[in-house]
């Protein structure tokens, strides 16, 4: 399951640097999470770091991107793989 940031976000800037996958970025109005990069910190930490640090608790699971822990682990491994050389 990828996470998402709701419109309750106050743009406090604390979540973006905490993401080990660089999945969090500043969107047009609030921070957003790229579901293709979000592993809920699987492979890095026991709990999602953005959720832990968010002062307004606006980072729930994205219901459009439900993934098992195994799928998140596989995504982590793909993201960590060195780029293929041509």
Half-sphere exposure of 29 (CA within 13 A, CB side): 5
pLDDT tens for the chain, residues 1 to 86: 799 999 999 999 999 999 999 999 999 999 999 999 999 999 999 999 999 999 999 999 999 999 999 999 999 999 998 877 76
Asked if residue 48 is part of any domain, the answer here is yes
- Number of structural domains (the chain) is 1
Provide φ and ψ at 26, rounded to 5°. Answer: -80, 115
Spacing of C-alpha 43 from chain mean position: 12
Expressed as residue numbers, the domain containing 24 is 16-80
CATH code for the domain of 33 = 3.30.70.20
């Amino acid at each position: 399951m990828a996470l998402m940031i709701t419109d309750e976000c106050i743009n406090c800037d604390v979540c973006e640097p905490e993401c080990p996958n660089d999945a969090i970025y500043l969107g047009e109005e609030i921070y957003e999470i790229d579901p293709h990069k979000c592993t809920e910190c699987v492979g890095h930490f026991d709990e999602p770091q953005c959720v832990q640090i968010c002062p307004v608790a606006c980072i729930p699971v994205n219901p459009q991107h439900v993934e098992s822990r195994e799928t998140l682990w596989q995504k982590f491994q793909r993201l960590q793989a060195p780029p293929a050389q041509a």
